[in-house]
Each structure stands twice: as C-alpha cells, then as structure tokens.
Structure 1
Amino acid sequence: MGLHRFKPLPSGRMGILWTLSSIRDAAMVEFGCMGHMMYSGVTLENTGVRGACKRYSTHIDETDIALGSTDKLADTIAHVMERDNPRVIFLLPSSIPEVIGTDLQAEAKALQQEYPNTHFLSFGYGGFEVTQHRGIQEALLRLVQTLPRDTDKKPQSTFNIIGSCADLFRFQADASEILRIMEGVFGMKPLCILTSDTSVQDIENMGGAHINLVLRREGEPAAKHLQERFGTPYLQGRPYGIDGTARWIEEVAEILKVPVDRDFLDSQLREGKRLLSDMRPLIRHLGEEHPEKIRLSIGAHADVVRGIRNFGCGELSLPQGTYWCDSPDMAGDDIPYFTEDQWMEAIQSQKKGLLMASGEALAWADRNMSLQITNPDIRRRLNPYVPPFVGFRGALHLMDLWINAALEQEDDED
C-alpha cells in the first residue's frame, strides 16, 4: 500500500464489514488482530450503525501467526455462543491470515458440526487486492445464496431493497424515502432492507417478495440469484430528481403490472414542479451571468454520481463540471475513476461551483460542507431522520442545497 494524504481506497474486507454490520440477530467474528475491529467499530458507529450485528475479534498475536494456530478462533466462538447465541455467525478474514493461508471456509465447516443450531458463513477478500465495492457485492451475494428459505409469495404485494449499506452516505434516509414512495404509490410494505435495516429472519423471508429494488450495481448478482431461485423480478437504479423518480415508479409499475396511486403521485409531482418553477428564473440568471457558480461537479459512487448529474444537469440544466467515481471497478468513459492526486487536482482547478464529494475532500478544499454526498466523513452521524438525496424529497433537498450554495458564493463576493 502506497502513501496517502487522505484515507486510502477501502479494501474488500471493509466492504464486507460495512455490509454485514447492520444485520440484527447475528454476530461477526474477525480472525485477526485486536485493533482492526475496534477501529472499525468506531467508524461504523459514526456512520449510524448501532445495536445490530455483534462484533468480535480473535486477537491473534505473533505466536498464532508463526504457528498457524486457530485455537483463538474456537475460543472466541465459544465465548460468542455463550454470551449471545446468535442465529448466524459471520467469519471475517483479515490481511495477515489471508497472507498465511488460513482456510476460514474449512474452519466454518468444522464449527458448523460443533454448533448445528447456528449458521456459520465465512467470507474471503481479506487482502488488499480487492476493493470495497467488490467486497460489498460478495457479501450481498453470499447472504442471498445461503440464508433465504423456500417460501411462497406473500398474498399482499411486498418488496425487498438490495444494496442499502452503511458505506453509502445517508443510507438510512435514502432507504426511508424509498419505503415512503413504495407505500404511497403502491401500498406496498418491505420484507427485507438489505442490509441497512434488516434481521436474519428478514433475509430468510426474502423469497416471498414480488420485486427486488436494487439500489446499487453491486446488488445485481444477488438479485439475479433471487430471480433464478424464486422468480422474483428486479429493477436496478437509484431514483433521483422529479422526472427521474416518476420514471422509476413507472418502471416498477410495469414490472409488477399494477396501477399507481395517481393522487399520491400527482401530489408529489406538483410539489416538486412548483419549487422547480420558482427556482428556474434564478438558475437562468446565474447561468447567464455567473455560470461558474452553478457548475456541478461530483465525486462519489458511480451510481450516485450518474443519478445526481442527470437530475442537476438534465432536469435543472446546471452547467456540467467534473465527474469521477470512487472505485476503479466502476470506471467508464463518462465517469472515470480518480486517484487521490487526480481528484485533488480536479477540485483545485475549479475554485467556484457546486462541488459534491466526501466530507474529507470538502473540508480539505474549504468548500461548502452541506454538499457532502459520500464518505469518508469527518463528522458523527447520529440522526437517521435527515433529508434524503433520492426520491421526491431528495430532489427538493438537492435543489435547496444547490441554490443556497450558489447564493452563498455571491454573498462572499459582495
């Protein structure tokens, strides 16, 4: 790993940890050193993950590494079973056992025989060669491959959310907006919100849903598996903006072959269009007189970047700035991956405009912190009921942020 001024690209292990950490009635045991899980626990709590999956570490030392001993893993599992007796135990690797070749899958099989009433699920990707997003994809897929039970579809239409994970900024608020829209438009309740607000039992019941809503591309392999096993169709995409959210709703309706509640939908559209019409004169003025102040630049998860860009530069006609994603696995011609040096250069080259990036990047550049759209963060997030970025309320929130950030730039010059 090279030197970094800021936080380096997270590993696959971190992606797995963020994905599993919000699952209730489960425990996570890392076969690694003490400091790993302690540091990760603080990070998770700062992002809003509390009271869900119990986290443990085996506290291996130099002797364990030199001898290849796994005795501390067995001791830790015995302690976890006595204290919590969880329904599922996730075995998470760390970099050192990955290097020395510890076979966690074999350990899981042995533990399964010793504790037949608890499900043991082991994960790989403990090294640094795999990125965070591939770890998230692996975790989501492994969960749906092993935990869901055979079941019939529920009499009343239901849905699952796949890909709402703790690594995404405001993951709880965005999931809540999806729930509000699905209930308001279709009268549907969720079976499982994978994984930001779920339990082992919720995952077991996922096969009873009528549609899977995949909020990030890493969740598509999991959705495909559920489609093959249970015949559940899925829709991949994050609804951003007024028109964008309406199109997303129509796609859901088409898949389900059900009508929408037009009263609810029309009320949401009227509210959004009204604010949009109020903003257009000011946006037009700024676009003609000071286009550099409303030029929109975004660096985040590729799906987040594309969705917000389509709303801001499509529906609102904001001037386009620079766009980049936070994973080399997701890079494309329109949204490339930027290294630390590249995104620092991109931010420095545009001193004005609407910059949406991580809290770390915005603080370094002394830019408007209200425009944070991704992690790494520099603050604690204790309140899950903040405004979302997706859906109709997310569109209202984004418009409010953008217009005030543009006006603040004007105030700074006066």
Structure 2
Amino acid sequence: KKIFNIIGASMGSYRAASDVWELQNLMREAFGYEMHTCLCYETSVDEIGDIGTAEINLVMRQEGLPAAEVLKNKFDMPFVVSAPYGYAATLAWLEEVGKILGQLPDVKMCARLRLKAQNTASLKMYAMMMGRKKTPQAAVIGEYDLVKGLSAFLRSVGIDVKYKLCSHSLKSIVEPELDIRYISVEKEKIDILKKLQKTLVLADDVSHRLCDSSNVVLRVSAPFIDGAQIATHLPLLGEKGTDFLLETIEAYYQTLA
C-alpha cells in the first residue's frame, strides 16, 4: 500500500510537528510513500485501529521501541530506529529504509544529499584552521536521541562536543553512549553552563539564559520560554533541518574568526 507509520513522535519535544513533516517529505520524495499512523501526533482512532496495514515503522525515539516490537511480533512489521541529523546521516537512513522496502531511494535526491554532505566537509577544514586560535566546541542538551544525533552531526563538521547532557534519566535507554550524561543535581548543570565561553550551545531557553554573551545559542529542546513554537515546517532533523542548523554553525564559526 506504500504507507508507513511513525512511532515515538512526542509532542513534548521541541519541533516535533516539523520533524514529522520532514520525515513525510523524505519518505514521499525517496520512495513515494505516505504516512498512515503517527504515534502520538494527530492520530485518529481509525488510524490506530489498522496500524498493522503499513509496511514499515519509523521509530524516532527509543521510547517507541516497545510499540515497534509489539507490531513486529503481531504483524511481522519491520522497523528502523533513529532520527537522522545531518546530510550523510539522512542518506544512510534512507538507504537503510530502502533495504527493508526493497526499493532504492530516489537517485536525484541521493545525489543532492551527497553533494551537500561534501560541501559541509569544508567546514571541518575551516574548524581545523580555527583550532590554532580557538577550538570549536559545543554543548548539547535535550532528550537522549536528540543529543546523540546532533552530537554526531556536529563532530562531522569539526566541532568538539564537550558536553552532552541528557534532560532525563538514562535508565530506560538501551546501551546509552558513555559520554552522554544525565545530571540529577541542578547546581552541577548550572555551574557547567555558567563557565562556558565561545561555545555553540544547542539547548533549551533556561540553559541559554545561564550562558554569557560570548556563546552562540540555538533552541533545540524544551522548555522554551523566550518565544513561541508556531511553525510546522522548520525541522531539526533530515535535509531541511540540516540546512537550518548549518546557518547557526556558520554564524558560530564567524565569532571565532
């Protein structure tokens, strides 16, 4: 039927609606597939009732794994776990999905993503040059899968992610990366943020308020208190999300020049 489900779209996540929108764009352009059921965002009882008719489940967050396992056991539905951040990661994600569907992603789309990924390599070279003066560094704060994905992308463009801070306990995470930490004592987290200098800080508004003006900040997680979340077409993941993130990264590099 050329339909898929999304599982783990938490509406408590920042830009969740836009991320779902971007996943739909990727699946439509790459494979000609349309979304059927999305848990838990704008989903009807009827869509949940026949959720087993889709061909594949796209699991955005680890919290969606139990549901994906149930659907796999009951309906023999395969699933892919991860939310792709960065051009190369998006391309790899599409190729993984394509293997399950038995269909190659759209050739022109793949060529476009490869070219964009190659162009970002210049940022890594620029970072190496800047390292003689000031090593580009970042702090990422948010939900586990967001921190993991964004940190990997930042490393690919030459930024050392000095702090990877999860906003929730790691108890439910399967084999969490060792350098992603959950700090239960708020004072320790505050002390880290107040000491940051000339750092790219991808976090929530509360964390940003603790950083001084030498840092470049971008809101990527909740809570958000210094503005509204209105747009549903400004993702953080996928191709369009990477386009957006790179604008802030470019601006950050300029502050180190």
Structure 1 residues 396 and 273, CA gap change in structure 2 (3 angstroms): farther
Supply the distance in 2 between the matched residues of 1:282 and 1:337 (Cα, whole angstroms). Answer: 32
Of residues 242, 247, 254, the one that matches 1:400 is 247
| Aligned with residue 141 of structure 2, among 299, 315, 320 | 299
**Ranges in structure 1 where 5+ consecutive residues have no aligned partner:** 1-155
2:34 corresponds to 1:189: yes
Are 2:134 and 1:290 equivalent residues in the alignment? yes
1:308 is aligned, of 143, 150, 154, to 150
Cα distance in 2 for partners of 1:369, 1:202 equals 42
CA–CA distance in structure 1, aligned partners of residues 193 and 208 of structure 2: 9
Q: Is the 8 A contact 1:287 1:318 kept in 2?
A: no
Matched, 1:364 2:210: yes
> Which residue number corresponds to residue 36 of structure 1?
none
Counterpart of 1:177 in structure 2 is: 22
AA at the equivalent of 2:72: Q
- Partners of 1:283 and 1:332 lie apart in 2 by 25
User: How far apart are 1:266 and its partner, in Å?
Assistant: 1.1
Equivalent of residue 198 in structure 2, options 343, 352, 359:
352
Tell me the residue number matched to 1:103.
none
Partner of 2:167: 326
Structure 2 residue aligned with 1:227: 72
1:224 shift after superposition: 0.6
SS, match of residue 381 in structure 1: coil
1:217 is aligned to 2:62: yes
Q: Which amino acid aligns with 2:39?
A: L
**Counterpart AA for 1:380:** A
- RMSD across aligned C-alpha pairs, in angstroms? 1.9
Counterpart Cα distance in 2 of 1:310 and 1:342: 24
* Residue in 2 that maps onto 1:342: 188
Deviations 1:293-334 (A, max 9, x none): x20111111111111111111x21212311111111346522
- Residue in structure 2 matching 1:251, options 77, 96, 111: 96
CA displacement, residues 103-154 of structure 1 (integer Å, 9 cap, x when unaligned):
xxxxxxxxxxxxxxxxxxxxxxxxxxxxxxxxxxxxxxxxxxxxxxxxxxxx
Task: Identify unmatched segments of 5+ residues in structure 2.
Answer: none
Identity of aligned residues (%): 26
Deviation at 1:370, TM superposition (A): 5.0
- What amino acid is aligned across from residue 174 of structure 1 in structure 2? D
Matches within 5 A, 1:105-144: none
SS state at 2:35 partner: strand
Note closer, same or farther for the CA distance 1:332–1:266 as it changes in structure 2 (3 Å cut). closer
Aligned length: 250
Q: Which of the pair is proportionally richer in helix?
A: 1
- When normalised by structure 1's length, the TM-score is 0.57
In the alignment, the residues of structure 2 paired with residue 370 and residue 349 of structure 1 have an alpha-carbon distance, to the nearest angstrom, of 14
Per-residue deviation, 1:243: 1.3
